[in-house]
Amino acid sequence: MNTRALPYLLLLPATLFLLVFFVYPFVQVAVQAFVGPAGFTTDNVQTMVKNFRFWPSVRNTVLLAAIVVPLQLVMALVMASIVANLKSARNTILYIFTIPLGLSDLAAGIIWLAIFEQSGFLNSMLVSLGVVDKPILFLSYQNSWVIFVAVLLAELWRATAIVMVILVAGMGLIPKEYYEAAEVFGAGPWKRFLKVTLPMLKPSLQTALILRTIAAFEVFSVVQALGGTTLPVLVGQTYDWQFNQQQTGVAAAMALVILAISIACTVFFLRVLRTPKGATL
Amino acid sequence: MAEIQIKGIAKSFGAFKALHSIDLTIADQEFMVLLGASGCGKTTLLRIIAGLETPTQGEVWIGGRRVDRLPPRERGIAMVFQNYAVFPHLTVLENIAFGLRMKKLPQPEIDRRVTRTAELMHIEQLLARYSGQLSGGQRQRVAVARALAMEPDVILMDEPLSNLDALLRLEMRAELKGVLAGSKTTTIYVTHDQVEAMSLADRISVMNAGRIVQAASPVEIYRNPAARFVGSFIGNPPMNFLPATRTPDGRWSVAGITLGGPAAASGKLEFAIRPEDLTVAAGGFDAVARVVEPLGAHTLVTTEIDGALFRAVLDSDVRINPGDRLSLVPKPDRIRWFDPETSLAA
């Protein structure tokens, strides 16, 4: 066997897989978005942008991601620190924290719907406690910010654990000696977190942030369950164009917008959380 | 001024007793080496002094202050770790400055100390590098510089040279000795390497199974082991031992020859002699040479006396072949005796 060709040969299956299932569909989507019956066209993009729900959907999605991801990051860091420092019952706590990960996002949305509905848990509780006389309609188009908050809560509840799991794994990789050195050289618990844990967790933070941010821009089922189209988001709009409006070209254009945002975020995190050469473990 | 007093320190890990009530005083500016095989408790003792491990019992005093309840950062210590623990995400400069920044020293003072210790350890050209770009020896230098920059009362070193190759270890050993002597700090140095211990220490504490067997100067440890363990642990090759029984006239019979010895209560003792304290002459032990290893300056001859292994380091111009019978005479003033009951020097 020619040893020079071997690496490429070994890469071939994965490359083929990527070409067939990623690059080809991507090109297809791009073609659908920009090619009309008369060749190249920006009609689809124009239709997309002119739609009255487009900018709200961009705003809602970006706002959701901008609030959810940082909150999840902070919560996950706290949770991971707790888990990493546990001496006993570590696995039990870890399992409890990760229960929401076992549910599909639609199921998670429905759980939170059951809480916020007019006949839901929250209303029953408020009524039985005598806080309100009759059930309140939380999830209405009149106060879409409540839907926004409900989606926010559901997302925090559902997807914080995945960030935590990545961070717990990352924290496990940091040798104990660095903490001891920091301790001896004067760092208290908070300084050790800032000066040892955070910087040495950078690769894990990078992975977690990229995964979580991309997922946050693809939020759909939870929003669908809690607000339908009252709270338009990007993927919801894509679905709407494809299946309700039957406009595949516009849906493809929407998909490209989501793709662009995802790529931009990935590049951003790769750059911002870059580790200098030689500064790895 | 930082005298270290260890009073009745004991440490158990579950049912395992790692340290049995250790008492030790280390004088200000003394270089104390804790020497022992792995698992003897030497690192545990060091970590208790550092505050990285809590003792089950006992007290640690540094410079007249009880510190065993204080976190490491309030003990006035600096430490060099076995795997260096040079932070990979910081440059050499920031590694050395780490403790100084934690102390919130003014920037000019930080610069001064970083420059001084970097020069002392010959790493001034590496200040901008990350530890991933350094060799093991260079990382070791950074770890030492980081400790020295703290200008601590006490420097603790946990097998700092064990990860270096033999040649580098030799070089660093000499350099460490010079640098630490100049720094006027009290040093506690953990190692399992007796040559390292002998060459560096003002005093060595030989540890075994969670106890300090003997704490004395290197020469004293070598010449007058307080226990059989010390004699068998220190020295390469180690001491030779032979059983001795008392003769009716109060002398001691050892492998066919009679020697003058201590007046012991029991009728049995153990005779001990270092391999280099033997000469080939008439009237000695009747030994059969088994292995002959010429080492240049000396020849190491492994013999058998009454079925027991017995080593002699002889001058290399002595011609001996395996199977030869020879008579080995011990130098009278170098003979040591141990009580087989207690294993202590008689």
* Alpha helices, DSSP H, located in chain B: 42-50, 92-102, 107-120, 136-149, 166-183, 194-200, 218-223, 228-233
Between B78, B79, B102, which is nearest A187 by CB?
A: B102
Q: Identify the residue with better confidence: A87 or B206.
A: B206
Q: What are the Cα distances from residue A269, in Å, to A213, A263, B272?
A: 10, 10, 70
Decide if A185 and B89 are in contact by the 8 Å CB cutoff.
no
* Chain B residues within an 8 Å CB radius of A170: none
Domain end call among B232, B251, B266: B232
Tens place of pLDDT per residue across chain B (346 aa):
689 999 999 999 999 999 999 999 999 999 999 999 998 999 999 999 999 999 999 999 999 999 999 999 999 999 999 999 999 999 999 999 999 999 999 999 999 999 999 999 999 999 999 988 999 889 999 999 999 999 999 999 999 998 888 888 888 898 888 888 888 899 999 999 999 999 999 999 999 999 999 999 999 999 999 999 999 999 989 999 999 999 888 889 998 899 988 887 778 899 999 999 999 999 899 999 999 999 988 999 999 998 899 999 999 888 889 999 999 999 999 999 999 888 898 8
Domain count, chain B: 2
The chain A residue lying nearest B97, using CA atoms, is A185
Domain boundary among the residues B232, B259, B282 is at B232
Please report whether residue B115 resides in a domain. yes
Residue A27 above 70 pLDDT? Answer: yes
Within a domain: B345 = no
B202-206 own/partner pairs: CB under 8 Å, 24+ apart: B202/B30, B202/B31, B202/B32, B203/B26, B203/B30, B203/B31, B203/B32, B203/B33, B204/B32, B204/B33, B204/B35, B205/B24, B205/B32, B205/B33, B205/B34, B205/B35, B206/B35, B206/B36, B206/B230, B206/B233, B206/B234
**How many Å lie between the alpha carbon of A181 and the closest alpha carbon of chain B?**
6
pLDDT at residue A257, as a whole number:
93
pLDDT, position B288: 94
B79 touches chain A (CB under 8 A): yes
B210 and B280 fall within a common domain: no
pLDDT at residue number A281: 61
Residues 135-164 of B with CB under 8 A from A: 146, 150
Residue A162 to chain B, least CA–CA distance (Å): 25
A44-272 adopts what CATH topology?
Answer: MetI-like fold (1.10.3720)
**CATH number of the domain bearing residue B297:** 2.40.50.140
Tokens of A206: 């990078």
Asked whether the beta carbons of residue A184 and residue B88 sit closer than 8 angstroms, the reply is no
- At residue B157, the pLDDT reads 95
Residues 44-63 in B contacting A (C-alpha not used; CB under 8 Å): 50-52
Residues B266 and B297 in one domain: yes
Structural domain containing residue B113? 4-232
CA B82 to CA B135: how far, in whole Å? 15
CA distances from B45 to A176, A230, B68, B154, B252 (A): 18, 67, 12, 15, 40
- A191 to chain B, minimum CA–CA distance in Å? 8
Whole-number pLDDT of residue A145: 85
Chain B nearest-CA distance from A66, in A, is: 28
Whether residue B228 sits in one domain with residue B104: yes
Gap between the Cα atoms of B193 and A174, Å rounded: 29
| Domain end (from B232, B264, B292) | B232
Q: Does B259 share its domain with B205?
A: no
pLDDT value of position A130 = 83
Q: Which pLDDT tens digit goes with each residue over A123-182?
A: 888 888 888 888 888 887 777 888 898 899 999 998 999 999 999 999 999 999 999 999
Q: Do B146 and A186 touch (CB under 8 A)?
A: no
For A200, the closest chain B residue by CA position comes to B89
* pLDDT score, position A144: 81
**Are B13 and B129 in the same domain?**
yes
Report pLDDT digits (tens) over B301-328. Answer: 999 998 899 999 999 888 889 999 999 9
- A-chain CB neighbours of B110 within 8 Å are none
Q: Are B222 and B30 in contact (CB under 8 A)?
A: no
Which pLDDT does position B51 carry in this prediction?
94
Q: Same structural domain for residues B191 and B291?
A: no
Q: Residues of A at the B interface (Cβ-Cβ below 8 Å)? A: 175, 177-178, 180-188, 191, 195-196, 199-200, 202, 275-281
Instruction: Return the structure tokens found at B303.
Output: 């013999």
Digit-coded pLDDT (tens) for B39-96:
899 999 999 999 999 999 999 999 999 999 999 999 999 999 999 999 999 999 999 9
Give Cα separations from B330 to A23, B196, B269, B321, B326 (angstroms).
Answer: 86, 28, 17, 21, 13
The stretch A39-57 carries a mean pLDDT of 90
Pair B124, B222 in one domain: yes
Give ∠ CA A99-A102-A105 in degrees, rounded to 5: 110
- Count Cβ neighbours within 10 Å for each residue of A193-231 and write b for 16 or more, e otherwise: bebbbebbbbebbbbbbbbbbbbbbbbbbbbbbbbebeb
Chain-wide mean pLDDT for chain A?
90
Is residue A277 pLDDT above 80, yes or no? no
- Is the same domain home to B79 and B194? yes
Q: What is the CA radius of gyration of chain B?
A: 24
We report the CATH number of the domain holding residue B221 as: 3.40.50.300
Give the pLDDT confidence of A245-256 residue by residue, as tens digits.
999 999 999 999
Residues of A in contact with B85 (CB under 8 A): 175, 177-178, 180-181
Q: Which residue of A has its CA nearest to B103?
A: A186
Chain A residue closest in CA terms to B87: A178
Nearest chain A Cα distance for residue B262, angstroms: 50
Q: Considering only CB atoms, which chain B residues are within 8 Å of A196?
A: 87
Model pLDDT, residue B92: 95
Q: How far apart are CA B221 and CA B235, in angstroms?
A: 10
Q: Do B78 and B211 share a domain, yes or no?
A: yes
Q: Note whether B71 contacts A276, CB cutoff 8 Å.
A: no
Token pair for B145: 């510089």
Nearest to B81 among A177, A187, A195 (CB): A177
Least CB–CB distance from B77: residue in A184, A276, A280: A184
State how far the Cα of A31 lies from the Cα of B224, in Å rounded to an integer: 90
Do B261 and B222 share a structural domain? no
Task: Say yes or no: B253 and B200 in one domain.
Answer: no
Contacts of A182 in chain B (CB under 8 A): 87, 98
| Residues from chain A contacting residue B90 (CB–CB below 8 Å) | 199, 279
C-beta atoms surrounding A171 within 10 Å:
18
CB contact under 8 A, B150 and A185: yes
User: Does the pLDDT value for residue A274 go beyond 90?
Assistant: no
B272 and B220 assigned to the same domain: no
Could you report the per-residue pLDDT of A193-204, keeping only the tens digit for each? 999 999 999 999
